[in-house]
Copies of this chain bind each other. A is one copy, B any other.
């Protein structure tokens, strides 16, 4: 256990940098805050490299034998991205995700979703429903953004999340016989016309723009959710929930 009292300490500087996507990508690290998320991180195959606490009582029920840093409240506030820091945070290493797409599994493909709350909620729903992996393209909000992690309620630790070119992913799905569904308000079929299936891929698009046309052209079929009222569309995380639970027949 190591005590840190200066905000100028090198570790503190690194932790602060991890608030930015650029440094999370460079270092392969990210920070989670709060007891519940730290607990979830520890359950998940030792991705936790450092624990940061303000008080030893924080860890008395945690099973962890790596590096522990005791910091001042001032330092915790400095590195925290929440308004009221809980006094515990963990520095986690990103897993290098490699995954072979194979028939029998179900995937979510995320095309440039911007809102961290939406992405986190989608990860939570996907994990809960038994989706096997999520593929994101580069224009999507960083899944290791603190708001995404919080909205995922820790599901980010149980779900392979892979950044990859979505056109390639669709091509591979087509090759191995996995039906790929786009979602679109135009030129699409009502989702309930499709039969649920053991293996499928579903693409979700940007909040304002939807899915890129070139991707929609590669799909087996594009689906829409009927709107009976005056609203123009559904929130993308809600739409994801309706489609996933229907297509997986959960």
Residues of A within 8 A of B (CB): 117, 121, 124-125, 127-130, 151, 153-155, 158-159, 192, 225-235, 237-242, 245-246, 249-250
Q: In this complex, what residue of B is CB-closest to A190?
A: B250
Please name all residues of chain B whose beta carbon is closer than 8 Å to the beta carbon of A127 when the two chains form the complex: 229-231
CB pair A128 B229 closer than 8 Å: yes
Q: Of B159, B228, B241, which contacts A241 at CB under 8 A? A: B241
- Known contacts: A158-B229, A225-B245, A245-B225. The answer to whether A234 contacts B130 by CB under 8 A is no
CB distance from A83 to the nearest CB of B (A): 15
Are the CB atoms of A129 and B238 closer together than 8 Å? Answer: no
A228 & B125 in contact (Cβ 8 Å cutoff): no
The CA of A59 and the CA of B247, in the complex, are separated in Å by 45
Residues of B within 8 A of A230 (CB): 127, 155, 158
Can you give 25 contacting A-B residue pairs, CB < 8 Å?
A: A117-B117, A121-B237, A121-B238, A124-B234, A124-B235, A125-B235, A128-B228, A128-B229, A128-B231, A128-B233, A129-B227, A151-B235, A153-B231, A153-B232, A155-B229, A155-B230, A155-B231, A158-B231, A225-B245, A238-B238, A238-B240, A238-B241, A242-B242, A245-B246, A246-B246
Number of copies: 2
Chain B residue nearest to A131 (CB atoms) is: B229
Determine the residue in chain B with the shortest Cβ distance to A191: B245
Contacts of A235 in B (CB 8 A): 121, 124-125, 151, 237
A160 to B76 Cα, complex, angstroms: 45
* Complex: A232 Cα to B117 Cα, angstroms: 18
Q: Which residues of B contact A121 (CB under 8 A)?
A: 235, 237-238
Of all chain B residues, which has the CB nearest A231? B128
* Nearest opposing residue in chain B for A151, CB measure: B235
Q: Which residue of B lies closest to A124 (CB)?
A: B231
Question: In the assembled complex, which residues on chain B have CB atoms less than 8 Å from the CB atom of A153?
Answer: 231-232
The 6 tightest CB contacts between A and B, nearest first, are A130-B228, A238-B241, A128-B231, A127-B229, A158-B230, A242-B245
